[in-house]
Amino acid sequence: MRTIRGRPHLAAIRPQGRSDGVWALPKGRIDPGESAAETAVREVQEETGVAGRLVEKLGDIRYVYVWQGEKIFKVVSFFLLRAGRGRIGAIDEAMRVEVAEARWLPLDEAPGLLAYGGEREIAAKALERLSG
């Protein structure tokens, strides 16, 4: 989260290969020896160019998808981070295979802008947390 002109914003990405207007939250796989929170901080910096400081866990999203004929059960944990150093979109060229674009989205608009239902719920939780 970062406050811009008095409004909280979240860092969102447009995954590579997705059309304009498809926004998602940064996320990724946990590396060996890493906690879910450490992964969140690392992935946000890698995918957006902005370093973040952990505030709290917002929740988990659970879903199932099929990959090469096999059912995959997935749990993704999301954390509220406060933005620190870095510039949105200043990502390593190697990350361009995953991320087409990174941008600040107004948090109060994010539940309507994010492409995936679970991520919209997480954005709504972040807004509730920051408003309350």
pLDDT in tens, 83-108: 999 999 999 999 899 999 999 999 99
pLDDT bracket for residue 124 (50, 70, 90):
very high
Q: How many angstroms separate the CA atoms of 28 and 45, rounded?
A: 11
Dihedral sign for Cα atoms in the order 76, 60, 17, 82: negative
pLDDT attached to residue 101 = 95
pTM to 2 decimals?
A: 0.90
Q: Which CATH superfamily is domain 2-131 in?
A: Nucleoside Triphosphate Pyrophosphohydrolase (3.90.79.10)
Give residue 84's pLDDT: 95
Closest CA to 25 of 50, 5, 55: 50
CB 53 within 8 A of CB 84: yes
Average confidence (pLDDT) over 32-59: 97
Percent of the chain with pLDDT over 70: 99
